[in-house]
A and B are shown apart, each in its own frame.
Chain A
Amino acid sequence: MAKQIPLVDYLLLGEHPHLVAHECTSCGARFFDRRNACASCGLTEFAVVDLPTEGEVRAFTIVAFAAPGIPTPFVAAMVDCGGTSVRANLINVPPDPEHVSLGMQVRLATEVVGTDDEGTEAIGFGFEPKEG
């Protein structure tokens, strides 16, 4: 099996792939990026927390434009995972408004998004419909 690396450092691979967030130990605000301090309360201590792998689509759009190499159209969405908002594509679903809807229940899924010169695969994530 090819060596794998996550597309972003907040995707943890392995037997049960899932997302993690930096949670402010003071106010509980969650962030996916490297932080200098908390944007909500300004304090500087964070703990890494696991996010649920299931959620609900709170907003989506079907995008016709992207950089070369990105298949279009694709579905971009905001998914509510147990109270934490996650930005992701919706995958394994036809990119049209008949198959994607607000309030849709979805679960995390991973996919290969590229391979580098050494054969290492970059693994990205998206959310797919829980049913159907």
Chain B
Amino acid sequence: MASDDLWILGIHMTKFGKHPDKDMVDLASEAVLGALADGGVTMSDMGVIAAGSLMAASAGIGQQLQKQLGQTGVPVYNVANACATGATALRVAMMAIKSGEADFGLAFGVEKLAGAGLLTGGSRKDDSGVFTPSGRYGAVAPIDGRIGTEIMPGVFAQIGMEYGHRYGGTSFELFARISEKNHAHSTLNPLAAYSKRMTLEEIMSDFMVAYPNTRPMCSANCDGAAAAVVVSGAKLRTLSLEQQRRAVRVSASVLTTDPWEESCQILPDVNTLTRNAATLAYEQAGIGPSDLDLVELHDCFATAELVHYDNLMLCEQGGAVDFFESGAPWRDGAMPVNVSGGLESKGHPIGATGIANVWEVTTHLRGEAGPRQIEGATVGLTHVIGLGSACGVHILEKSAA
């Protein structure tokens, strides 16, 4: 292992779902204590802490965790970056190690969102008084619902539909079948918020939130946390052989934002920044998409999963429909995607998501995924998108030790 390599030493996620009896610090503590124990280290070893939470970063969730687990005085970075929050926290911890400021870093992500409903759009103040233009559009009344939609299921519905318009082959049923796959995968994941298999008919006849996304085709708001301990290659060499054997190499860590594209002010462009992140990640890792054994990508909606097959270059450009139709992204296919159940079924506690997907891939690379193990997995990729936008991609490789 090269000295400047970065490794996941310990990692843990809580069960995703409803945790009415636990607050965010409880959930984060469970994830962090689990990750420390998994890595055979303690809070006093950590040289830096990156704390991800969309809802609680501004409340100093990192220091709140220290108050429970150990006030060691090390720097804490509280991180919020939309749905890329967890991946961003992980990257902050790794950047601190790469800069030489720390040997060990702790990153965690936590959120409590069970029952939260729609997170954007769908609200406005009353129209009353006298119309007065205000804001950057000179609007005299709220525009959500009057000039398009700001709700996430609707935004991502259009992203999938736009792909269908460009390349053809999409339909309500096709998007529903993507969801059917992820719900089927979740039946093997005891940590998923929902682990019930759903038939195609059940998915298609459920409540239509924003055509073509019905409710089970939307990511599940839930509570949960995940945490990872990262370590430099130089430090890992001084640890036990067992720690070295179970460590997983981070062979690429990339964060991008969306470059300007003609239509991006109208409909967020989640494609270009994902493609850019994937290109950089494959370069950093020195591999290509065909080398991947599994992928956990950001299926915040069924319509989003389709476009990311293409953006992550798991298929030819324009070939995402054929890729899905070939059966490739099923767990027994050529390129298993979201064997955890994905955001639609495992759940999406926003700050935790970008570390939980690393936990999933790490667990497969260690050969510890039990009944849902992808046999012989040696390389995997994780991807998250936060609208606004931010894209995090990590490539992970099994230890050669």
Contact = CB atoms under 8 A, between A and B. Distances in A.
Given A5-B131, A59-B158, A59-B267, A65 B137 contact: no
Contacts of B127: 69, 114, 116, 122
A85 B269 CA distance: 12
Given A70-B145, A87-B267, A97-B172, A63 B165 contact: no
A108 interface: no
B122 A122 contact: no
Interface in B114-141: 118, 121-124, 127-131, 133, 136-141
Contacts of B130: 116-118, 120
A1 interface: no
Nearest to A79: B266
B395 to A, nearest CB: 30
Count class of interface residues, chain A: 35 or more
A8 interface: yes
Given A65-B151, A77-B158, A70 B118 contact: no
B21 interface: no
Contact of B122 (A30, A40, A65): A65
B141 A67 contact: no
B137 A58 contact: no
Interface string A32-75: 11100001100000000000000001111111111101101110
A93 interface: no
Given A31-B265, A70-B145, A76-B154, A59 B122 contact: no
B143 interface: yes
A64 B121 CA distance: 12
Given A65-B118, A87-B148, A78 B141 contact: no
Nearest to A28: B262
26 contacts: A58-B165, A59-B159, A60-B158, A64-B207, A64-B209, A65-B118, A65-B122, A65-B210, A66-B149, A66-B151, A70-B144, A74-B145, A78-B267, A85-B266, A85-B267, A89-B148, A102-B165, A113-B141, A114-B127, A114-B140, A116-B127, A116-B140, A117-B129, A118-B130, A122-B131, A124-B147
Interface of B: 118, 121-124, 127-131, 133, 136-149, 151, 153-154, 157-159, 161-162, 164-165, 172, 207-213, 260, 262-263, 265-267
Given A74-B145, A78-B158, 19 more contacts: A5-B133, A7-B139, A8-B137, A9-B133, A9-B138, A10-B137, A39-B260, A61-B154, A62-B210, A64-B207, A65-B210, A67-B122, A72-B145, A73-B208, A85-B262, A103-B165, A118-B130, A120-B131, A124-B147
